[in-house]
């Protein structure tokens, strides 16, 4: 790959992370991580795996018990007609699943239509596969969803796939069933692949519904579905993801990419995944209810105490507040980007971590992203800091 990697950008999230390490008593609303503990069944399974000496090489695509559980989950929860364990692979988190999917799917010069704004590793993994991401605008006034004719207009003769991420990072937008059906129809008619990133499948609020596109008629044959344990089971640091794909040629390519980048995913972590799936699933609903309470607390705080500097509707999914910056706000720095100027201001003056919206794409300029999955005390502290920081705006 060599010099090709020079074209792959680092996410600004890395720069933000480095900035936050220099801040005393920070409010870490920059990190897309929940404050919950992993379920007890995960911890117990990992302890047991260590005690039973499951510390050796295992099957490249995943240990059999975990694969069987994933097949059952995909069939019953996602309604994807998975044929068997051979169609599922365990990966080192969702980002690794996306990497091997792009390596297997893309040829040099291929185009992949992606949302704008979007999680930066999406674009990075496409570029790393020598393909080109083609941004397509998400519209705030439509709940951060596509204008479907605009999406269709972005398809060219070079388009290999459409990538969707619903619920979405960074906006929290959730595609409707009608949206997913329309995108599926585009893929069938144009003979395109659909890359479906479903990392936040369990983080839904209000009346939102998650639809796995591979569950729709004739779509499993042309969909690569990517999932992770990170958000549903508070296992972000354990790095456990998985994907499902029917196409045998792609699967063989993916197995090679998986083997040469990991050999196998940590055996102990995979047993933790078994513990997550064999245990009670009540934690998913409990996490969701608490995240909705934190969402509401944060948005109420912003409305009442941030001096009108930020605006935006609460999201229907994921756990991010993607807020518009008042254009009248004037930064102290000479930064060309108001998103970066605001992020630097919040970190330096308010100890509040956030990510500049422009880091997620050109359509994110003028916004910042906060993670409201932190505990209530930390969220309240960030709001109190905002109130002091923007006090002049309320006078």
Tell me: the pLDDT tens digits for 51-72?
999 999 999 999 999 999 999 9
Length of the chain: 395
> In the predicted model, is pLDDT for residue 335 greater than 80?
no
Q: Sheet containing 159-165: which strands, arranged edge to edge?
A: 88-91, 241-244, 223-228, 193-197, 159-165, 111-116, 132-139, 145-146
> Model confidence at 302, in pLDDT bands (50, 70, 90)?
very high
Distance CA 166, CA 276 (A): 22
DSSP character string of 276-306: HHHS-SHHHHHHHHHHHHHHHHHHHHHHHHS
> Model confidence at 173, in pLDDT bands (50, 70, 90)?
very high
Q: What are φ and ψ of residue 227, in 5° steps?
A: -135, 170
Alpha helices in 106-201 (DSSP H): 120-128, 148-153, 177-190
Residues of the chain with CATH 3.40.640.10: 40-278
Q: Residue 392: what pLDDT?
A: 58
Residues of the chain with CATH 3.90.1150.10: 2-37+283-389
Tell me: the pLDDT tens digits for 147-172?
999 999 999 999 999 999 999 999 99
- What residues form DSSP beta bridges with 367? 324
Neighbours of 320 (CB within 10 A): 25
Q: What angle do CA 77, 360, 374 make, to 5 degrees?
A: 60
State how far the alpha carbon of 384 is from the alpha carbons of 298, 306, 352, 354, 362, in Å: 11, 9, 10, 15, 30
Distance CA 215, CA 74 (A): 9
Domain 2-37+283-389 falls in which CATH fold? 3.90.1150
Q: Averaged over 13-19, what is the pLDDT?
A: 86
DSSP character string of 41-97: HHHHHHHHHHHTT--S---TT--HHHHHHHHHHHHHTS-----SGGGEEEESHHHHH
> Model confidence at 395, in pLDDT bands (50, 70, 90)?
very low
- Percent of the chain residues past pLDDT 90, beyond the cut: 91
Distance CA 61, CA 270 (A): 11
Distance CA 363, CA 301 (A): 26
Q: Residue 10: what pLDDT?
A: 81
Q: Look up the CATH number of domain 40-278.
A: 3.40.640.10
Tell me: the pLDDT tens digits for 180-224?
999 999 999 999 999 999 999 999 999 999 999 999 999 999 999
* Contact between residue 251 and residue 86 where contact means Cβ atoms under 8 Å apart: yes
């Amino acid at each position: 790959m060599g010099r090709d990697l020079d074209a792959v950008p680092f996410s600004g999230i890395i720069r933000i992370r480095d900035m936050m390490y220099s801040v005393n008593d920070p409010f870490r609303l920059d990190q897309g991580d929940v404050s919950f503990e992993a379920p007890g069944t995960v911890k117990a399974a990992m302890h047991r795996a260590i005690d039973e000496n499951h510390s050796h090489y295992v099957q490249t695509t995943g240990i059999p018990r975990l694969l069987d559980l994933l097949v059952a989950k995909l069939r019953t929860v996602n309604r994807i007609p998975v044929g068997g364990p051979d169609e599922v692979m365990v990966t080192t988190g969702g980002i690794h699943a996306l990497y091997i999917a792009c390596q297997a799917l893309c040829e040099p010069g291929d185009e992949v239509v992606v949302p704008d704004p979007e999680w930066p590793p999406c674009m990075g993994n496409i570029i790393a596969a020598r393909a080109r991401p083609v941004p397509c605008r998400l519209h705030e006034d439509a709940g951060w969803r596509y204008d479907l004719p605009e999406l269709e207009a972005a398809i060219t003769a070079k388009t290999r796939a459409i990538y969707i991420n619903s619920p979405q990072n960074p906006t929290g937008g959730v595609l409707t069933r009608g949206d997913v059906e329309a995108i599926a129809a585009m893929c069938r008619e144009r003979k395109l692949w659909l890359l479906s990133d479903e990392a936040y499948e369990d983080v839904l609020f209000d009346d939102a519904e998650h639809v796995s596109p591979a569950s729709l008629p004739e779509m499993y044959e042309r969909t690569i579905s990517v999932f992770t344990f990170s958000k549903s089971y508070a296992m972000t640091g354990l790095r456990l993801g998985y994907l499902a794909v029917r196409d045998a040629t792609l699967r063989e390519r993916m197995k090679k990419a998986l083997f040469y980048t990991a050999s196998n995913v940590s055996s102990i972590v995979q047993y933790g995944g078994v513990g997550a799936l064999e245990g009670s699933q009540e934690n998913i609903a409990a996490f969701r209810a608490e995240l909705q309470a934190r969402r509401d607390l944060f948005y109420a705080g912003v409305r009442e105490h941030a001096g009108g500097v930020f605006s935006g509707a609460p999201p229907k999914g994921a756990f991010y507040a993607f807020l518009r910056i008042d254009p009248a706000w004037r930064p102290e720095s000479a930064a060309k980007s108001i998103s970066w100027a605001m992020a630097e201001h919040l970190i330096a003056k308010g100890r509040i971590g956030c990510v500049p919206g422009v880091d997620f794409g050109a359509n994110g300029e003028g916004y910042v992203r906060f993670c409201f999955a932190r505990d209530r005390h930390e969220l309240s502290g960030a709001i109190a800091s905002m109130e002091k920081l923007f006090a002049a705006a309320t006078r």
